[in-house]
Amino acid sequence: MTDPIELLRKISDSRILFRHDLELDAEVANFLSAQPQPEQGMVMAQIKAEIERAREIHPDWPSDVLHAAAIVSEESGELMRAAVQHRGEGGTLEACDEEAIQTAAVAIRFVERK
């Protein structure tokens, strides 16, 4: 079995970024640099735990790539909603972190195909 943490490292090392607006990229970079940064090992452990939890709840990963991508997209949408709520509606950064961990977990499941 492929280690999910190693897959996450490969994904992050690929540096595939989608840039729609350089001004927005700068704004995001400024925001992130002002936030307390969690320890990398702790984050990886949280993602691994989320993958294991997700596999228990949803053991069957869809074989159809479109369906699998829709799951990743749905989780990413939840992260975006949490970020919007954090930015202007009193949402918490912790809620954003939780959604980011769930998004990372399903992205790894997508790559693993399980």
Q: What is the 3-state secondary structure (H, E, C) of 22-68?
A: HHHHHHHHHHHHHCCCCCHHHHHHHHHHHHHHHHHHCCCCCCCHHHH
Which residue has 């069957």 as its token pair? 60
Per-residue pLDDT of 56-87, as tens digits, reads 999 999 999 999 999 999 999 999 999 999 99
How far are the Cα atoms of 34, 48, 72, 79 from residue 30, in angstroms, in the given order? Answer: 6, 28, 26, 19
Output the six-digit token pair for 82. 């949490």
Check residue 39 and give its pLDDT.
73
Convert the pLDDT of each residue in 22-54 to its tens digit: 555 565 566 656 666 667 788 899 999 999 999
Identify whether the C-beta of residue 112 lies closer than 8 Å to the C-beta of residue 2: yes
Rounded Cα gap, residues 9 and 108, in angstroms: 10
Sign (positive or negative) of CA dihedral 101, 104, 110, 114 = negative
Helix (H, G, I), strand (E, B) or coil at 49: helix
Structural domains of the chain, count: 1
CA angle (59, 64, 66) in 5-degree steps: 115
Structural domain containing residue 32: 4-112
What's residue 33's pLDDT? 64
**Quick check: 17 pLDDT over 80?**
no
The pTM for the full model equals 0.66
